[in-house]
Amino acid sequence: MNIYEATVIDRMHHLDLGLFKHQINFTYSLLKEKYGASILNTIDNRLANIPRFPELKIFKISIQSLARITTNEYCNLMKVMIFVLNNLDIDESIQNKLLKLYEDWNNMYLLS
């Protein structure tokens, strides 16, 4: 018996802490490379200015400076990243691709 075929993927570690973490890091790296660190400050400011709602953790400090982000915090980021990235002062084609990426991710995540 192949143990890897018999094992069920752990959603929390595979999706939340694995793939979505990579997606956030990729987004930050791409935007920093193309537009400089100031675009990351804009994203962090948008995250910090989201109105408070019960059971929605919003980051008051830069998520770039956090050493560890919990699964719950990544789930909260999933809920708001489309709105945070929308209407950034970046190339429209890059923005549309990023928005589509996050939309597809959220749809896939809901189905899982």
Domain housing 101: 11-111
Inside any domain, residue 79: yes
Inside any domain, residue 99: yes
pLDDT at position 98, please? 94
Inside any domain, residue 3: no
pLDDT digits (tens, 9 = 90+) for 16-29: 667 888 888 899 99
Inside any domain, residue 90: yes
Is pTM beyond 0.85? Reply is: no
For residue 53, give the DSSP letter: B
Number of domains in the chain: 1
Please state, in angstroms and rounded to a whole number, the distance separating the CA atoms of residues 92 and 102: 15
Inside any domain, residue 54: yes
Inside any domain, residue 105: yes
Inside any domain, residue 2: no
Q: Which of 13, 9, 8 shows the shortest CA–CA distance to 71?
A: 13
pLDDT digits (tens, 9 = 90+) for 33-80: 999 989 999 998 898 888 888 877 777 766 766 667 777 787 888 888
